[in-house]
């Protein structure tokens, strides 16, 4: 229960931290309609109070204690203009906000709450709380898919002298890098993860786990930047560091990187082997989100191989593990898989609906994933007999996948597009698209051959 002696009116708590002790003492006295004589006590005369207010004396510790008690404020507030309990209250509210974000994705008014805390903390000179509020806002925007806003917030946080190093808050640095990638700037993501890996190798040379984490994300960014050879080198060097005693999650990251790289390069069977290894290890951990993502990735590979039954099982497991409040990007990837499965089952309407949901969830970001969603929509529209819509969707899918370095996927989409046109007697239109599919396929085949 709070002590009434230390309750501070809002006008007091919002006072400028630049006030002198004397000015603060006079303001508080007048707010309470007290004279200097009213405020005096044995050892603290009204003349002594007058000199403090005039700036001619600094109060002793004993005087501060007596004056604070009569004014019903804390000694800390009277001396510095900041009440330590205000900081504690902000920290409690920030902890509650961060927990809400992690458990449920955040309420609609969470952004407003965090902005209010940040404003209060800045006005009160509470730099640590202001920085933490900015941090949570950055994570919130990233989770919502507002990656430009996330980048702006997290850049401010990580550019501050008080920013935590990469080995202490990897979630901040990885979110920043992933937001760059989602904005179509993989080269910036590469710079972030390169620098993080360099710093953790220097700062915590014996911490293989955190080094492997950054190596994994660096390999993702390099893959998005089409630097396939270096991506493979980075992840294999990290795998060499992960001995058999490494925790399962460390090895999961590495298998995941190799699976992703193999899938992008069109080596589907190899990708499936890596992802099965990752799933087997994940079952020994309690990381349900990453296991769900692994099931989605495995389902995507199986759908390319027309293995509908195993893909269906993996998608059902993934949906169960994602829970009731999944991130938009995760739900979007799940919907892509469900659209492809529905198309394989001949359910055109369900395939179209799932593909459109995926596009809405992915928004204007996640370019490569958007390409996959548009490809799924094209397949579904062709199945539904919407030839005009399918033709346009195929064109957009091939363009998106090509621009974002997904040449193997772009080649598959172009080949399917050409087959769609040929089946409708549009042979002249199909020929240049077949050549494009061939060119994309050769590029992807050559890229993967060079790594073997």
CA 297 from centre of chain: 19
Domain 327-452 has CATH 3.60.20.30: no
pLDDT of residue 402: 85
Does the pLDDT value for residue 47 go beyond 60?
yes
Token readout for 361 is: 């969830």
Q: Please tell me the pTM assigned to this model.
A: 0.57
- CA-to-CA distance for 84 and 335, rounded, in angstroms? 49
Max mean pLDDT among 7-11, 26-30, 161-165, 281-285 falls in 26-30
At 44, phi and psi to the nearest 5? Answer: -135, 85
pLDDT of residue 247: 67
pLDDT of residue 440: 78
- Quickly count: other Cβ atoms within 10 Å of residue 296's Cβ: 25
pLDDT of residue 304: 85
- The mean of the pLDDT values for the chain is 84
- CA-to-CA distance for 232 and 222, rounded, in angstroms? 9
Residues of the chain above pLDDT 90, percent: 38
- Quickly count: other Cβ atoms within 10 Å of residue 23's Cβ: 16
pLDDT of residue 116: 93
- Range from 92-106, 161-175, 287-301, 384-398 carrying the lowest mean pLDDT: 92-106
pLDDT of residue 447: 43
**For the residues 306-334, what does the mean pLDDT come to?**
90
More confident residue, 92 or 140: 140
At 276, the pLDDT band (50, 70, 90 cuts) reads: confident
Q: Note whether 211 and 201 are within 8 A (CB).
A: yes
Extents of the domains making up the chain: 4-82, 84-163, 327-452
Which helix H or strand E contains 438, and what residues bound it? helix 427-449
**For the residues 425-452, what does the mean pLDDT come to?**
71
Closest by Cα among 328, 339, 350 to 372: 339
Does the pLDDT value for residue 444 go beyond 50?
no
Which of left, alpha, beta for 55 (phi over 0: left; psi -120 to 50: alpha)?
left
- CA-to-CA distance for 343 and 350, rounded, in angstroms? 8
DSSP letters spanning 17-82:
TT--HHHHHHHHHHHTT--HHHH-BTTB-HHHHHHHHHTS----HHHHHHHHHHHTS-HHHHHHS-
pLDDT tens track for 154-167: 999 998 887 889 98
- Range from 144-148, 167-171, 274-278, 429-433 carrying the lowest mean pLDDT: 274-278
More confident residue, 408 or 301: 301
At 241, the pLDDT band (50, 70, 90 cuts) reads: confident
- CA-to-CA distance for 292 and 281, rounded, in angstroms? 13
At 128, phi and psi to the nearest 5? Answer: -60, -45
At 346, the pLDDT band (50, 70, 90 cuts) reads: very high
CATH number of this structure's domain 4-82: 1.10.260.40
Q: Note whether 299 and 337 are within 8 A (CB).
A: yes
């Amino acid at each position: 229960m709070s002590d009434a002696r230390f309750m501070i009116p809002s006008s007091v708590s919002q006072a400028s931290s630049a006030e002198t002790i004397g000015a603060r003492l006079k303001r508080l006295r007048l707010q309470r309609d007290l004279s200097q004589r009213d405020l005096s006590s044995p050892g603290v005369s009204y003349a002594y109070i007058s000199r403090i207010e005039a700036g001619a004396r600094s109060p002793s510790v004993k005087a501060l204690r007596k004056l604070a008690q009569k004014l019903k404020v804390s000694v800390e507030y009277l001396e510095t203009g900041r009440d330590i309990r205000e900081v504690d209250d902000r920290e409690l509210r920030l902890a509650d906000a961060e927990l809400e974000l992690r458990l449920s994705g955040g309420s609609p008014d969470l952004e407003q709450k965090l902005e209010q805390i940040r404003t209060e903390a800045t006005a009160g000179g509470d730099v640590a709380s202001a920085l933490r509020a900015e941090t949570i806002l950055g994570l919130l925007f990233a989770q919502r898919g507002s990656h430009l806003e996330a980048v702006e917030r997290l850049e401010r946080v990580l550019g501050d002298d008080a920013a935590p190093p990469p080995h202490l808050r990897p979630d901040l640095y990885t979110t920043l890098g992933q937001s760059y990638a989602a904005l179509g700037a993989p080269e910036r993501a590469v710079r972030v993860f390169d620098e993080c890996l360099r710093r953790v190798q220097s700062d915590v040379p014996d911490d293989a786990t955190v080094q492997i984490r950054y190596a994994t994300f660096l390999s993702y960014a390099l893959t998005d930047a089409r630097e396939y050879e270096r991506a493979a080198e980075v992840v294999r060097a990290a795998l060499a560091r992960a001995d058999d005693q490494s925790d399962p999650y460390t090895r999961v990251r590495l298998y995941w990187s190799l699976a992703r790289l193999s899938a992008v390069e069109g080596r589907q069977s190899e990708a499936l082997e890596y992802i099965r290894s990752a799933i087997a290890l994940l079952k020994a951990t309690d990381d349900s989100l990453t296991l769900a993502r692994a099931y989605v990735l495995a389902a995507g590979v199986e759908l390319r191989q027309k293995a509908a039954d195993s893909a269906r099982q993996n998608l059902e497991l993934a949906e169960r593990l994602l829970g009731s409040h999944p991130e938009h990007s995760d739900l979007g990837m799940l919907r892509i898989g469900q659209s492809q499965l529905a198309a394989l089952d001949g359910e055109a309407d369900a395939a179209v609906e799932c593909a459109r949901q995926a596009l809405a969830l992915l928004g204007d970001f996640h370019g490569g994933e958007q390409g996959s969603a548009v490809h799924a929509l094209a397949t579904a529209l062709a199945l539904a007999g919407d030839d005009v819509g399918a033709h346009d969707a195929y064109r957009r899918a091939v363009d998106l996948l090509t621009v974002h370095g997904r040449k193997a996927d772009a080649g598959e989409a172009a080949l399917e597009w050409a087959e769609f046109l040929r089946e409708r007697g549009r042979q002249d239109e199909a020929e240049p698209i077949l050549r494009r599919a061939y060119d994309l396929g050769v590029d992807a085949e050559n890229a993967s051959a060079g790594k073997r």
